[in-house]
Structure 1
Amino acid sequence: MASRSTEVIQYLVETQDLWPKATKTKDLENEASRALALLNEEEKAAVLRYYFVADAKMSLASHLLKHWVVSRYAGVPWHDTKLSRDTNKKPIFVDPVTGTQPVFFNVSHQAGIVALVAVAGYNAGQVDIGTDVVCTSERRIRDHRAIDTEGWGSFVDMHADVFGCSEAGYLKSDELLVQGLQQQYVAHTVDSKLRCFYALWCLREAYVKMTGEALLAPWLKDLEFRHFSAPAPASAPKQPGEAITDHEVLFHGQRVDDANICLRSLGPDYMTCTAVRTPGRKEDGLGWELGPFEFLTIEEIVEHAEAHLGD
């Protein structure tokens, strides 16, 4: 496969309004038949196993994005974009001729948004990459009810098993209100605290996915984000907002200096995070610009796939 310059790829797909006549997951077999036809039987079955159609739509978009990024950026015919899994069960594409990965990628989805991050054309070794997307308002009613009933401290403690040693304490501290909240927020409000809570969640999830492991990794307590803050929200839906790229990250008490991490707001309620590193040459990954995500439509993906099925 020909060498090419390195490209950092970040796309979002909205699924809320896709296939509006599909009110149940099984309806997608007819309403989304073009899209489903582009998946293999195992992938189709995985999509159609979801109970809620909203989840099935995000799963379908996620599968399509993984094949699309390999086909589009590695120049592979759609039917040859056969994905496998690495030792951590993370989906990957390995070129059958060279045995290398021409594209390193990761996907995430929540509340109708599917995120893809990828690095293509990097020929100097391994790329570790992860992404996460969170929606601060998706569970707002439930979150407020829990906080009103049990208090903010108890709400944080309910999730403390997936946080680092110092993070839960920071979320409950007065320091959070001084350092973690932007001026336009009203201090001490529940929503401002929840925004910082979800910012931490997004940071940790992207970092852990970058490593290739899951939120059950045995070292979760040894990973700490200190003095983290939430990016200010953007005023309009789909509009990229503030980006925070300077993070104090510790692992086993030692400062992490090889991870390029960008936490960015999207519209009033969403946040995205990309985390990337190049273990063999850390300066490469640290030098890549992680700009705003672009939006991509399912129609664009399907049209590309149908035009490149086997050429």
Structure 2
Amino acid sequence: MIKIQVMQVPSILLDNDWELLLSMVATERRAGAARYVHQTDAYRSVLGEALARVTLADQIGGQAKEISFSRNAYGKPFLNEHADLPFNISHSGDWIVMISGGHGLVGIDVEQTNPIDLQIADRFFAPQENRYLISQPADTQVETFYRLWTLKESYIKAVGKGLSIPLDSFAILPNDQGNWHCEQDEAYRFHSERLDDGHMLAACSVGTALPTEYDVVTVQDVLQAIRK
């Protein structure tokens, strides 16, 4: 069964909690966190890995700190000892999101829905998607843009080949029943929703049905799991 988790990024963490989180993540992650100008960026990075560690440790019956990750040639992470356990993580703005479980490829994306020049769609969207975008009411086009963008990103992340797959080489659109689908690969299933007024979430999987509800995880939940 596939699980989707969402966790809100705090504006501030207690020093002891932050040090505990840093102690859990890979050396490269700790070094990267120290280089961020904005502390919230460091929080997102470290909390994303911490969430992955406690979630995956629970699924395989291991210890969160002992989990080790590698990346494929395109940068998609996988578990060294359980490469067949699918998972994917994304973070943006106030949220970290994770998808895990099932028996096939999975991907997830979250984006902060800032104002944007919609002409960017001409560069990255397939012609069918552009036609769909401009067919929507003017006051919903920004939301539609981010819905399409996150759906496409979730697919790219599930396939695991990065931007070696051009974003305009495939189209994700609603079918007659209103369900999102990839016109070039009908094996994938999709889910799209707003997390809040400022963030859009999309998830993707091969074959396995996606949940229509997500689990809310707090930073305290993660810390409690680490301290066990």
Compute the TM-score of the two structures, normalised by the length of structure 2: 0.88
Q: Partner residue of 2:118?
A: 156
Alpha-carbon displacement from aligned partner over 1:42-76 (angstroms, at most 9, x marks no partner): 22112222221111111111111121122111111
Q: Which has the higher contact order (CA 8 A, sep 6+)?
A: 2
1:295 alignment counterpart: 216
* Match status 1:68 vs 2:54: yes
Give the Å deviation of 1:38: 1.2
1:12 to 2:6 alignment: yes
| Selected match of 1:203 from 145, 151, 157 | 151
- Please list every run of 5 or more consecutive structure 1 residues that lacks an aligned counterpart in the other structure: 1-6, 22-27, 144-154, 178-187, 229-243
Structure 2 letter corresponding to 1:8: I
Q: Are the aligned partners of 1:94 and 1:102 in contact in 2 as well (CA < 8 Å)?
A: no
Q: Which has the higher helix share?
A: 2
- The aligned counterpart of 2:199 is 270
Could you give the per-residue CA deviations for residues 64-105 of structure 1, whole angstroms, max 9, x where no partner exists?
Answer: 11211221111112232111112322111032xxxx435211
Aligned to 2:183: 250
Structure 2 CA distance, aligned partners of 1:67 and 1:74?
11
Whether the aligned pair in 2 keeps the contact of 1:165 and 1:222 (CA below 8 Å) is no
3-state SS, counterpart of residue 17 of structure 1: coil
- Note the 1:42-121 alignment, pairs <5 A: 42-95=28-81, 100-101=82-83, 103-119=85-101
1:217 aligns with 2:177: no
TM-score by length of 1: 0.66
Please, which runs of 5 or more residues in structure 2 have no aligned partner?
none
Secondary structure of the corresponding residue to residue 161 of structure 2: coil
Contact 1:245 1:263 survives alignment (8 Å): no
What is the alpha-carbon distance in structure 1 between the residues aligned to residue 133 and residue 23 of structure 2? 46
Displacement over 3 Å in runs of 4+: none
Q: Number of residues paired by the alignment?
A: 227
Q: Following superposition of structure 1 onto structure 2, how do residues 146-185 of structure 1 map, counting pairs within 5 Å?
A: 155-172=117-134, 175-177=135-137
* Per-residue deviation, residues 239-261 of structure 1 (Å, max 9, x unmatched): xxxxx97124222xxxx221111
- Shift of the 166–47 alpha-carbon distance from structure 1 to 2, 3 Å rule, reads same
Gap change, CA 1:227 and 1:41, over 3 Å in 2: closer
Partners of 1:220 and 1:203 in 2: CA distance: 11
Within 2, Cα distance between the matches of 1:101 and 1:132? 21
* Alignment-mate amino acid for residue 207 of structure 1: Y
CA RMSD of aligned residues (A): 2.3
